[in-house]
Structure 1
Amino acid sequence: MPSHVSADRSSAQPPSRGSVDALISQARRLKGDVDAVRRDTQGDGSDPTERWQRALYDLALHQLDDLDEHLAQLRDGPLPAGPAAEQPPAEAAQAPSGPLLSRVGSAEWNLLTDEASWSGELYRILGRDPASPALTLDELPSLVLEEDRPQLTAMVTDCLIDAKPIDGEFRIVRPDREVRTVHVMGEPVLDADGSTTSMWAVLRDVSELRRSERAVSETRDSLQRRRQRAQAEHRVAVEVQGAVLPPWHGSLRLPRRGAGSLDIAAHYLSAPASELIGGDWYDALELPAGESLLGVGDLTGRGPVVTSTMAMLLGAVRGMAMAGTRPGELMALLNRLLDSAGRPALGSAVCCRYRPADRTLTWAQAGHPAPVLYRAGTGRRLAPPDGVLLGATPTAAYGQAEETLEAGDLLLLHTAGLVPGRAGADGSDALLDLAPRIADAADAQDCVRAVVAEFDTAERQDGACVLVARVES
């Protein structure tokens, strides 16, 4: 068995210097590559995923630092022990514990003579004066945190009595009150009769490594909790949205009887790029005296809070429309409602009231894309009346416009996220290009399918709603 104090020194037949130098060069190149990627990917620290990635990079760099220094120690050997080292004793005792040569030390405790021998590196790990005598096994626990002493005692006892190897960690308190984590590996030294005569060990300061590992674990747990919270919020938002959006599927006829009715279909397009549901909504409702309500809108933000506000807003739209409130006044009331809500938000909307007797469409908008009217194979966006975003100012006034429709006309209402990344601030160019396909559609549902096929892409960052109403003869 090798000598105890030589455990952290070069072996009798060291590897060739050239081969170790080559390994050192490779380790340093890899460390430089990891550090470069780490710097390139650093954010502001607000994203748990970024914090977790940064912690992993830090851990990898600590491991590579250790590998680099281990290889250097293998090539050059450690610093000498005792007060004859390169620096004075007092200075040596205060040497920083960063470099690996002050993080790996060795010791032997002779049971026959009750003597202890430490390498110079171990003095630096423990922050002790190299001129002072090495501590015996009975004295060593005095450096260890009280809660870790039973673990150290059990390891030493198993080694001395049962000849078991030592492999464990404990925390020590240096004279400057700094707490460090030390990993120890050792074995008993036996005589010819199999009796334990001494014990040797290699001790390594792993404080920075454990700190990095804790950072990785904590950020991983934080990220997991964030994902679970996001999944719960998504589920709640989906349930709220499903509860308040119109329950009908396929086509809807409004009013259900009479000439000039509307064939209506609608669809909600989700956002694959986001796990959270936004505040997009659509509605179609038969009103008293045979009129119909058509509307779409959007609220800023995502998640359960936004969808609950959307539910409140949609309920107010239906109630006021059933009470006979005209679109312009309805928008003004919605604006006051949103401005006075406990959670202030901004929203946009367009609401239309259709009278089938003379095919008149009365509508108003609040900072929202105007409806697109398709007629005879061409399309145009209706000229919008005045109207600012809902919630922007409590005293805003909203205009109202009228449009006379014809049999066969098709009206398309949508929220702003329908046409991501297309020409025109509100997607007008892309929507107008659909006019030939709209003209060939058999019904409103067929029109919605054409719109969804064109714009429901994986690059979508926000959800969107589209509602189509076709005037029947």
Structure 2
Amino acid sequence: MPSPISADRPAQPPGRGSVEALISQARRLKGDVDAVRRDARSDDSDPRERWQRALCDLALLQLNDLDEHLAQLRDGPPPVAPAPAPPAGGTAPGRPPSGSLLSRVGSAEWNLLTDEASWSGELYQILGLDPAAPPLTLDELPALILDADRPRLTAMVTDCLVDAKPIDGEFRILRSDGLVRTVHMMGEPVLDADGGTTSMWAVLRDVTELRHRRRTVHETRDSLQRHRQHVQTERRLAVELQEAVLPPWRGSLRLPRRGPQTLDLAAHYLPAATTTLIGGDWYDALELSDGDTLLSVGDLTGHGVSVTSGMAMLLGAVRGMAMAGSGPGQLLAWLNQLLDATVQPALGSALCCRYRPKTRTLTWAQAGHPAPLLFRGGTGRVLTSPDGVLLGATSAAAYGQAEVTLEPGDLLLLHTDGLVPGQGGTAAVDRLLDLAARFGTARTAQDCVRTVVEEFGEREREDNACVLVAQVTA
């Protein structure tokens, strides 16, 4: 018979509401089972009544587990405790006895006055014994138990016979077919009118598969917790490295610091909606020794601390080569060689601009990166890109350069991909150009950055992004 959910309801991750409903059902069922157990006759002389009551106890035990597991499904994994070592001598569980649940639950009674034992057929199957053989006495039963677990069984039986305590514990048995199985035993003493123990009855259940699945849950939970801790550690390292490398300035910055013709600069890093994704986006502004200003933005593909460290390497190389006098095109060519020579291949995009304040000339080059946007007189346009491929895409790539003369009041906007979730760079460019009128009324570069953040900052971005604004002062 097909599953009732397979045809009409494809398997889907459960929502919180559905899990709450399952928890309510499980707790109602626990109450019903408990009511049945309380209504059962407490006749210790009737083995069937004792067996039925013990089955209710087992059902309540499993429903408690179900309640706990559903609560974990609702609330997530609990804090991880150190996982106990596997018990010595334990082996991977074999195939459980076939049949229904009842074939894995057996009952036994040991008469202390006659030294006779009475077993159900299911108990023979659980213990892997010949049903034609006589049942084992309490003295013979430990012969099936693993050496490490015999003291546990002895203590349970002694407490039951001497102190009339209920039995509730587990031990492992070695069957004749070589399988090691875990058995859960529940029982009580049967007392005479004077309070003396005349016999002991018990219900035994093969819980090997249950314990194996529980260990699997613990192991996968611990693995998940370790993964989360690893991700958190890696993210912290990536954030610290990013903060150490990106320019520390906040608000507006003017470069060069001397002279009337400067650039009013502001930048902002927009993180991805998923906080674990720390990528290789960067922005930078650097005053060079000859009075020029280097502007750059870039993005190294991927996420994580290795990508962030790669970004730090590239940004350091950009600064060093620019200080040595390299033009934007040559700088990108050497960056490409550097990335191509790294041990771990990677791809990246970059945009480098060199601004000469004396002539207000901007010389720039790009490596597979969105072109700068130039805003003038309340309108904006995309500058025409020179040739340039992604960094690391091919060896010995050449990168062209372009020049544009800026005017006082012009605003230059550089950005990386990722501003608009699920869409290419064209969508972001169109929306940035639509901000031209608002940029025209802004007083500072920082005001323009705030406008970009208002437009893009609250969106569910799939990737990191950054924006750098440079305004030519009058």
1:161 aligns with 2:147: no
**Secondary structure of 1:290 counterpart:** coil
CA distance in 2, matches of 1:335, 1:387: 10
Q: CA offsets, 1:342-385, max 9 Å, x none?
A: 22211111000001111111111111111111111111111111
After TM superposition, the structure 1 stretch with the greater mean CA deviation from structure 2, 447-456 or 204-213, is 204-213
State the partner residue of 1:268: 269
What is the aligned partner in structure 2 of residue 430 from structure 1?
431
State the 1:274 CA deviation: 3.4
- Cα deviation per residue 1:138-165 (whole Å; 9 max; x = unaligned)? 1111112221111111101111111111
Aligned to 2:381: 380
- Structure 1 letter corresponding to 2:375: Y
Q: Which residue of 1 aligns with 2:117?
A: 116
What is residue 196 of structure 2 aligned with on the other side? 195
Tell me if structure 2 keeps the 8 A contact 1:97–1:124.
no
Question: Match of 1:306?
Answer: 307
Corresponding position of 1:333: 334
Report the Cα distance in structure 1 between the residues aligned to 2:6 and 2:106, rounded to whole angstroms: 28
Match of 1:450 in 2: 451
Aligned-partner Cα distance in 2 for 1:192–1:330: 100
The CA distance in 1 between the partners of 2:252 and 2:337, in whole Å, is 33
Query: Are 1:237 and 1:276, in contact at CA under 8 Å, matched by a contact in 2?
Result: no
1:98 CA drift (Å): 4.9
Tell me which residue corresponds to 1:223.
Answer: 224
Letter in structure 2 aligned against 1:398: Y
- Higher mean C-alpha deviation, range 303-312 or range 426-435: 426-435
TM-score scaled by length of structure 2? 0.80
Deviation (angstroms), 1:33: 5.7
Name the counterpart of 1:246. 247
Tell me how far apart the structure 1 counterparts of residues 239 and 187 of structure 2 sit (CA, whole Å): 59
Map of 1:92-103 to 2, 5 A cutoff?
96-103=97-104
Check 1:335–1:98 CA distance in 2 against 1; reply closer, same or farther (3 A cut). farther
Report the alpha carbon displacement of residue 337 of structure 1 after superposing the two structures with TM: 0.7
Find the aligned partners of 1:168 and 1:352 in 2 and give their Cα distance: 75
Taking the TM superposition and a 5 Å limit, the aligned residue runs for 1:30-41 are 39-41=11-13
Cα gap change, 1:208 to 1:95, in 2 (>3 Å): closer
Counterpart of 2:279 in 1: which secondary structure? coil
Task: Say if 1:188 and 1:199, in contact at 8 Å, map to a contact too.
Answer: yes
Map of 2:126 onto structure 1: 125
Give distance in 1, aligned partners of 2:8 and 2:284: 53
Cα deviation for residue 223 of structure 1 reads: 1.1
Query: In structure 1, what is the Cα distance between the partners aligned to 2:9 and 2:240?
Result: 41
The offset of 1:95, in angstroms, is: 9.1
8 Å CA contact 1:170–1:181 kept in 2: the answer is yes
Native 8 Å contact 1:233 1:276 kept in 2: no
Report the secondary structure of 1:208's partner residue.
helix
Name 2:407's counterpart in structure 1.
406
8 Å CA contact 2:170–2:183 kept in 1: the answer is yes
Q: Are 1:141 and 2:142 an aligned pair?
A: yes
Distance 1:458 1:115, change over 3 A: farther
Partners of 1:190 and 1:458 in 2: CA distance: 73
Letter in 2 for 1:178: L
Q: Distance in 2 between matches of 1:174 and 1:429?
A: 74
Cα shift at 1:418: 2.0
TM-score (norm 1): 0.80
For the Cα contact (< 8 Å) 2:96–2:208, is it kept in 1? Answer: no
Post-superposition CA distance 1:44-92 (Å, at most 9, x none) = xxxxxxxxx9xxxxxx9xx99xx9xx99xx9xx99xxxxxxxxxxxxxx
3-state DSSP of counterpart to 2:418: helix
SS of 2:118's equivalent?
A: strand
3-state DSSP of counterpart to 1:288 = coil
Aligned counterparts of 1:323 and 1:255: Cα–Cα separation in 2? 17
Q: Distance in 1 between matches of 2:12 and 2:429?
A: 39
Whether the aligned pair in 2 keeps the contact of 1:423 and 1:429 (CA below 8 Å) is: no
**Structure 1 residues 403-438: Cα deviation after superposition (integer angstroms, max 9, x where no partner):** 111111100001111232457546221111111111
Query: Once the 2 structures are TM-superposed, how far is the Cα of residue 235 of structure 1 from its aligned partner?
Result: 1.1
One-letter code aligned to 2:347: L
State the distance in 2 between where 1:145 and 1:273 align: 51
Bigger mean CA offset, 432-441 vs 442-451: 432-441
- Report how far residue 272 of structure 1 moved: 2.5
In structure 2, relative to structure 1, the CA distance for the partners of 1:196 and 1:444 (3 Å cut) is same
Per the alignment, residue 82 of structure 1 pairs with none
Call closer, same or farther: CA 1:216–1:162 in 2, change over 3 Å.
same
Contact 1:362 1:403 in 2 (8 A): yes
Confirm or deny: 8 A CA contact 1:273 1:458 kept in the other structure. no
Cα 1:413/1:271, change in 2 over 3 Å: same
- Helix, strand or coil for the counterpart of 1:325? coil
Range moving further from structure 2, 188-197 or 117-126: 188-197
- 1:319 equivalent to 2:313? Answer no
SS at match of 2:344: coil
Q: Say if 1:251 and 1:264, in contact at 8 Å, map to a contact too.
A: yes
Q: CA deviation at 1:206?
A: 1.5
Contact preservation (8 Å) 1:297, 1:368? yes
Instruction: Give me the whole-angstrom Cα distance separating, in 1, the residues matched to 2:375 and 2:96.
Output: 81
Partner of 2:108: 107
Structure 1 stretch displaced more, 457-466 or 317-326: 457-466
Would you say the 8 A contact 1:267–1:448 is kept in 2? Answer: yes
Q: SS of 2:149's equivalent?
A: helix
Q: Where does structure 2 lack aligned partners over 5 or more consecutive residues? A: 20-25, 41-46, 49-94
CA 33–143 in structure 1, closer or farther in 2 if over 3 Å, else same: farther
* Cα distance in 2, alignment partners of residues 466 and 184 from structure 1: 68
Shift of residue 37, structure 1, vs aligned partner? 7.8
Is residue 230–residue 276 contact of structure 1 (8 Å, CA) maintained in 2?
no
Instruction: Mark the runs of 5 or more structure 1 residues left unpaired by the alignment.
Output: 1-27, 43-52, 54-59, 79-93
Cα deviation for residue 40 of structure 1 reads 3.7
Query: In the alignment, which residue of structure 2 is the partner of 1:346?
Result: 347
Letter in 1 for 2:446: Q
**Cα distance in 2 for residues equivalent to 1:404 and 1:129:** 98
Tell me, yes or no, if the aligned pair for 1:97 and 1:125 is still in contact at 8 Å.
no
Q: Determine the C-alpha separation between the residues in 2 that align with 1:212 and 1:345.
A: 42
C-alpha deviation, 1:227, in angstroms: 1.2
Percent identity between the aligned chains? 70
Deviation at 1:276, TM superposition (A): 3.2
